[in-house]
A and B are shown apart, each in its own frame.
Chain A
Amino acid sequence: MNEPVLSLHGVSRSFGAVEVLHGIDIALRPGRVHALIGENGAGKSTTMKIMAGYQPATSGTIRVDGQEMTFASMAEAEARGIVMIHQEFNLAEQLTVEQNFFLGRELKKGWLLDKTRMRADARKYLDRLNCRAHVDRVVSNLPNSDKQMLEIARALSRDARVLIMDEPTAVLTYAETDILLEQVRALREHGTAILFTSHKLDEVKAIADDLTIMRDGDVVYSGPAADLDEHQMAEAMVGRDVSNLFPPKPAAPAPQPVLEVAGLEVPGYAHDISFTLNKGEILGIAGLIGSGRTETFEGLCGLRPHRGAVRINGQPVQIRQPSDALTYGLSYLTEDRKTRGLLLDKSMRENLTLQSLEKYSGWLIDQKAEEAALTQAIREFDIRSGDRAIKVGNLSGGNQQKLLLAKTMLAEPDIVVIDEPTRGIDIGTKQQIYDFIRDLAAQGRSIVVISSEMQEVIGLADRILVMRLGRIAGEVSGDRMTEDNIVRLAMGVEGQGRDAAPMEAT
């Protein structure tokens, strides 16, 4: 095996009195893809930041090409060919591809910019990644996969020998992910050393050569990725058995419709959506990204203009704005917790009660009652934060999601639409969230779960509607809830699978 190009030896890192990394060893080798996995808060990000020079190690050594180094800054690491790509894109959205590509190191001809050469150079690197995005396009118009490619191309143009990627596929669709993985393979052929993190273990299994698993600041596995199956990886991450990821499904009670939707139209996104949701039921909504799942339910909950007949508990209702929905006991929990779900620069208390503030105020807000509600939510939803006054932006993704769930449930809706309940969350927290959702159903609430993760909808839902191109393509339930049937409906494959019944147009 090649000598490591970048390695950490016994690296520890403390924040104040708290040590978050306890003597980590990890080695990246040229021409190999190294996956770093672990639960949120296991220390993956800190490890990557130390490798890329964003943070110094408190103790231990960093070696580049076998030589001991200390990086004073990310610029020094970059000078050694070590580049990190962040989960949130670091691109100027209003500038073009070429302008972004050369941002901060523009090529000049005398006093003026040498646009011809910059365009050509940007093109060359993008071509190498099979990225077809035009160099004159404004970045905000690009799909996420192209933005990711642009970031990678930019890294490569800076002679990256080590590419560190923080959850590169978290924001990508399946198709985009495939493209990215293909490019990662190509980079591996070129001899680049690649480190990436992901919560999607099938990806890890598909592409990683080496694997490091972290838990609570320690490395708990280090070795070839081929030696573990996905199940063993999950177990090593969480430190306990996770074979029962999903809670058992109880026998379906007699259907008692609470929400009846007929001919719902969300202009531009969804057409002729009709379905019924029963009391105590978890209804899964599957379909490709862009099939109009989110928009359908945002429309239903008054977040988008829509029309159509909606009945709640048999009564026709008009939902013009989200507060109307809440009046009828209907609430939508967004897929985007960071920009639509939570106020990241506010405390947990202010976030928790934001949707149900009337319950905690007469003329004035009763802060003691709010604090009591927070105490209860922390206990009920197992929200873990060292400090109650912490800004929500500093919580881990899993705890943010739990807080968002607590916030939504504080308004005591009878019908909850949960969009992507576990996006970007580690497997241990996922399991907890699935349990919460099943408990809510057992309490007699009715739940819609929208998810792009096939396993999740199948494991959690009692019944699944599959959407395709803004319409309901079909419904599957019971034994017919298989990935095969869902994919056929979602893709509109001919024959639609033997068992999946296309929805009757009513």
Chain B
Amino acid sequence: MTATETTSARAPRRGLPSMTVLGPILALLVLLAIGVFLNENFLSYANITNVLARSAFIGIIAVGMTFVITSGGLDLSVGSMAAFIAGLMILVMNAALPTLGIGVPIILLGMATAVVAGLFAGFLNGILITKLGIEAFIVTLGSMGIYRSLVTWLADGGTLSLDFGLRTFYRPVYYDGILGVSWPIIVFAVVVILGEIAMRSAVFGRHCAAIGSNDQVAKYSSINVNRVRLMTYVLLGLLVGIATIMYVPRLGSASASTGLLWELEAIAAVIIGGTVLKGGFGRVWGTVIGVLILSLIGNILNLTDLVSPYLNGAIQGAIIILAVILQREGRAGA
């Protein structure tokens, strides 16, 4: 296929959104339909809030991941990073308990710890990738192992638990909210809206796409490529910190298995949503749909007994591969 041919073949499709836009939305609608068909409780307020609240952790991280992948990077460390930050948060809060007592200040201290740790961890990944020029895959594979090991060490192979009294005080951050919408969902929504605007209409999003598309062109266009790349990792670290703030009150503990495979779920959500794995094009709303698709599969399997919930991973895997195949069809010839 030549360039000219592709253009002419593409021209008539302009009125109708292509498969890359429609695909994830259709898949989500199909899943919703299946859910409704299989279980009348599926659309109940309790179930929907449950799905959304559980999606929020991965979702908040996946929004950050969208920027990293769009600018041609990757971060495998986010799951371990979340576990490490959770562990650190719990340690700091438990240690401060005798002096601060149970109250708002200690919660704020915990949150500040998470945010600072997230920013720092993201910065560390970013600096190694940009300044030392090491492959993102290698750097984050390394830091993934380091954080996972650190949290295991901090917990001495077991579980780090938040003081019982503190846990009770902190719980509302996960379970309460405004007007019946819980805090994780609200924070997720805010992150998504800001992320979508940044990706679509801010200089930062445009620069991410330009760098992912061709970093040489970006460099020759006076864009500070390293700084933008670094910012994507710092942003992702910050969002991991925020996700952890929401996550800790849910269980009040952290262990070696906290946040296990979150990185893969976040990456999968980004790809299902239509962001290009090698960079150059990203969309935050797609990532949200990707996250919802992945959580709905788990939810539907739990609500029905047609298929064993143990097959959750297999179905998610098949959906990821299918999503990429559909996107390739949408880009035929390119």
Give me the interface of A with B, judged by CB distance under 8 Å. Answer: 15-16, 18, 20, 45-46, 49, 54-55, 303, 321-323, 325-326, 331-332, 334, 339-346, 350, 354-355, 357-358, 361, 363-365, 367, 387, 389-391, 393-394, 407, 411
Contacts and interface: CB of A to CB of B under 8 A. Distances in A.
A339 B221 contact: no
A74 to B, nearest CB: 12
Interface in B208-228: 209-210, 213-214, 216-224
B67 to A, nearest CB: 16
B217 A345 contact: no
Contacts of A389: 14
Nearest to B280: A345
Interface stretch (B87-95, B185-193, B196-204, B290-298): B196-204
Interface stretch (B1-9, B162-170, B241-249, B251-259): B1-9
Contacts of B132: none
A343 B8 contact: no
Nearest to A332: B220
A331 B222 CA distance: 9
B206 interface: yes
Contacts, number: 96
Given A340-B217, A394-B7, A326 B222 contact: yes
B213 A343 contact: yes
B11 interface: yes
Contact of B222 (A15, A322, A343, A344): A322
A115 to B, nearest CB: 32
B201 A303 contact: no
Contact of A355 (B6, B209, B221, B280): B221
Given A18-B8, A55-B2, A340 B222 contact: no
B213 A15 contact: no
Contacts of B202: 361, 363-365
Contact of A350 (B206, B216, B220, B222): B206
Given A323-B224, A341-B220, A365 B201 contact: yes
Interface centre among A46, A322, A390, A407 (most CB of B within 10 A): A322
A354 B214 CA distance: 12
A321 B227 CA distance: 12
Given A394-B6, A394-B7, A364 B220 contact: no
A334 B220 contact: yes
Contacts of A365: 201-203, 206
Contacts of A16: 8-9, 11
Given A16-B11, A365-B202, A49 B2 contact: yes
A343 B214 contact: yes
A355 B216 CA distance: 13
Given A387-B11, A407-B221, 7 more contacts: A46-B4, A323-B223, A323-B224, A339-B216, A341-B217, A343-B213, A350-B206
Interface in B1-33: 2-9, 11, 14
A339 B219 CA distance: 11
A18 B8 CA distance: 9
A350 B212 CA distance: 14
A365 B203 CA distance: 6
B5 A15 contact: yes
A340 B216 contact: yes
Contacts of B201: 364-365, 367
Contacts of A344: 214
Contact of B220 (A15, A55, A322, A394): A322
Interface centre among B207, B220, B224 (most CB of A within 10 A): B220
Contacts of A339: 214, 216-217
23 contacts: A18-B8, A20-B4, A46-B4, A55-B2, A303-B219, A303-B220, A322-B219, A322-B221, A322-B222, A332-B220, A339-B214, A339-B216, A340-B214, A343-B280, A346-B210, A350-B210, A358-B203, A363-B202, A364-B197, A365-B203, A389-B14, A393-B3, A411-B222
Contacts of A346: 209-210, 213
A20 B4 CA distance: 10
Nearest to A353: B206
A358 B206 CA distance: 11
Contacts of B280: 343, 345
A282 to B, nearest CB: 22
Given A54-B2, A363-B202, A365-B201, A345 B213 contact: yes
A394 B4 contact: yes
Nearest to A395: B3
A20 B217 CA distance: 31
Contact of A323 (B4, B7, B209, B222): B222
Nearest to B213: A343
Nearest to A342: B217
A323 B221 CA distance: 8
**What 6 A-B pairs come out closest when comparing CB atoms?**
A322-B222, A16-B8, A364-B201, A355-B221, A15-B8, A354-B221
B214 A325 contact: no
A260 B9 CA distance: 52
Contact of A361 (B4, B203, B217): B203
B222 A325 contact: yes
A354 B223 contact: yes
Given A340-B217, A341-B217, A364-B201, A321 B4 contact: no
A55 B8 CA distance: 15
